[in-house]
Amino acid sequence: MSGILETIKTLTEINSPSGNADEAINYVKNYVEDLGYHTKVTNKGGLLITVDGTNENKQRCITAHVDTLGAMVKEIKENGRLALDLIGGFHFNAIEGEYCEIQTQTGQTFSGTICLHETSVHVYKDNHNIPRDKEHMEVRIDEITHNAQETKDLGIEVGDFISFDPRTVITQSGFIKSRHLDDKASVGMILELLKKLKNEGTKLPHTTQFYISNNEEIGYGANSSISEDIVEFIALDMGALGDGQSFNEYTVSICAKDGSGPYHKALKNHLINLCKINDIPYKVDIYPYYSSDASAALKAGSDIRHGLFGAGIESSHAMERTHLDSINATQELLYAYCLSPINE
């Protein structure tokens, strides 16, 4: 099976909820520096990777985010369990029954399970009618603790980060199913691209910054540290599947519009033409409840042409899945785009 899937699997298994993505950022930093690329960590904790090109005056930026959905300890309850506050845009039903890890301020890690308080059908009648919300969901810690003080004595405090078990599986039929394919699939593709460029000795037509962002899930990842020389800005992010969407798990998705509005028409058309010229299977779609680091950069005032494409992710913000065919198509478009000139 393709090495890209193993690269993605490695990334998904690094805990990195928004606000606590340093370990994942450091992994990417060390990976690309070993390849010989220059990097810079921004004040916000994102990672900039510069690849020199022939034209230094008209540059590109391609971003993908390594931060994921997660949670934080909201309260240590009287029963010793933990109330949660969610990080990112998802609902409690997406994480019910999930294994998790609590990372304390002192560096300790404790395992647990996210449960409905009234889980047992042998005790709680009609518990399927109980809302899955912050009043009823809690973390059952895998430690002997009977009350709030005993949990505090473990070193767990309000504000500690909670990460979800990705449960990553690669199937013989070419699927990868996991939490956090949004957007670690894209980060993995950028790592594979940088390795390919280095091995080939390829010189890009334009200097390109690859921006690994660490706050996308909370709305302000790659919206700063953007050079004035950058003309085009691509968010390499998931394609959202569902009813009414033309996209699937076997092609690359090009976004025409999301919840923030239309993407730049000329850049969108350029991506479509690259797919046609290179026989890359693609679909064009609208994601109605979605925004990206490209739209965040625009809102922050950057004067850029913005675009978005990525692999098709089934069941986004829950137990996600995509296929190697979609990843390959996205990699082909990413490579073709990086080697193409900026259109005037």
258 is in an annotated binding site: no
Please report the pLDDT score of residue 242 as a whole number: 82
| Spans of all domains in the chain | 1-66+179-337, 69-162
Please report the pLDDT score of residue 1 as a whole number: 47
Three-state SS across the chain? CCHHHHHHHHHHCCCCECCCCHHHHHHHHHHHHHHCCEEEECCCCCEEEEECEEEEEEEEEEEEECCECEEEEEEECCCCCEEEEEECCCCHHHCCCCEEEEECCCCCEEEEEEEECCCCCCCCCCHHHCCCCCCCEEEEECCCCCCHHHHHHCCCCCCCEEEECCCCEECCCCEEEECCHHHHHHHHHHHHHHHHHHHHCCCEEEEEEEEEECCHHHCCCCCCCCCCCEEEEEEECCEECCCCCCCCCCCEEEEEEECCEECCHHHHHHHHHHHHHCCCCEEEEEECCCCCHHHHHHHCCCCCEEEEEEEEEECCCCCEEEEHHHHHHHHHHHHHHHHCCCCC
323 is in an annotated binding site: no
* CATH top class, domain 69-162: mainly beta
Please report the pLDDT score of residue 121 as a whole number: 87
Confirm whether 216 is a catalytic residue.
Answer: yes
Mean pLDDT of successive 10-residue segments in the chain (344 residues)?
89 98 98 97 97 96 98 97 97 96 96 94 89 95 98 98 98 96 98 97 97 95 93 95 84 96 97 98 94 94 96 94 97 98 85
237 is in an annotated binding site: yes
Please report the pLDDT score of residue 241 as a whole number: 85
Please report the pLDDT score of residue 279 as a whole number: 98
The catalytic position among 192, 216, 232, 320 is 216
Structural domain 1-66+179-337, CATH architecture: 3-Layer(aba) Sandwich (3.40)
182 is in an annotated binding site: yes
118 is in an annotated binding site: no
